[in-house]
Amino acid sequence: MEYVNLGSTGLKVSRICLGTMTYGSKKWREWVLEDAEARPFYRRAIEAGINFFDTADVYSLGVSEEITGRALKEYGSLPRAAVMAPAIALARDGFVLSRDDTELLDAKADRFAEDPAAALQKLGVWDAVQPHVAGAENVRAALLFVDRKETPLGIVYATDAASDPKVKIVGVFPEDTHPPIIYPAALTVASKNPDAVKFLQFLESPAARAPFEKQGFTVLGAAK
């Protein structure tokens, strides 16, 4: 097996990475291979020297990660330390449609979880769409699914969609179907840091406005 540096970290990983979305629970997707069926693939990968595994807790809602952990423990005589590459490391909070394909829940992004469903409900299509919704940890994870052609469509911010040349924007929710999506910035009352004041002033300047607008954001004026 050939090993290469992982970015600029100096960490050596196998050139081949084993994706683990296929392994988990059929309760999540019928085509998924469960523990016993998945074991031969993990064993062969480890015996071949693979030490790089793509994971995400959205894969079978965490069952995939459990199977991966058990397989690494069982077949764990690796030539290098195993490196897990969780998809969440690539992303930031955003629209989270579902974690179990039936309910909307995400403690750290409640409003973002509600926005897409509320919009689809207002458009009168949620009941038809909801059985086909696949969970995504966050907006960048959803975008990655579309980028990799693992799903035909995804609901993400327009600014995120525009950042990926492999993704085509095929539709935009009307503004009256969801609350405004706003990123506020403010100084805290207790702040004594002069750099914080300078940074906020910079965010309000034309120099900061240009790169935001280039990425598709609409810059609002400072609140009075």
Tens of pLDDT, residue by residue over 125-165, are 888 877 777 767 777 888 888 888 888 888 888 888 888 88
CA–CA separation, 107 and 110 (whole Å): 6
For residue 166, pLDDT over 90 is answered with no
pLDDT at residue number 114: 52
Average pLDDT, stretch 186-202? 82
The tokens describing 206, both together, are 């034309």
Sign, Cα dihedral of 16, 88, 66, 35: negative
For residue 103, pLDDT over 50 is answered with no
Which range among 10-24, 30-44, 99-113, 139-153 shows the weakest confidence by mean pLDDT? Answer: 99-113
pLDDT at residue number 54: 85
DSSP state of 3: E
Of 111 and 174, more confident: 174
Considering only CA atoms, which of 82, 220, 221, 58 is closest in space to residue 143? 58
CA–CA separation, 58 and 42 (whole Å): 19
CB atoms within 10 A of CB 191: 12
% of the chain exceeding 70 in pLDDT: 79
Average pLDDT, stretch 113-134? 76
- Terminal CA-CA length for the chain: 61
Average pLDDT, stretch 170-194? 79
Across 32-36, 94-98, 184-188, 194-198, the highest mean pLDDT is recorded for 32-36
CA–CA separation, 94 and 99 (whole Å): 13
Yes or no: say if 43 and 75 are a contact pair by the CB < 8 Å rule. Answer: yes
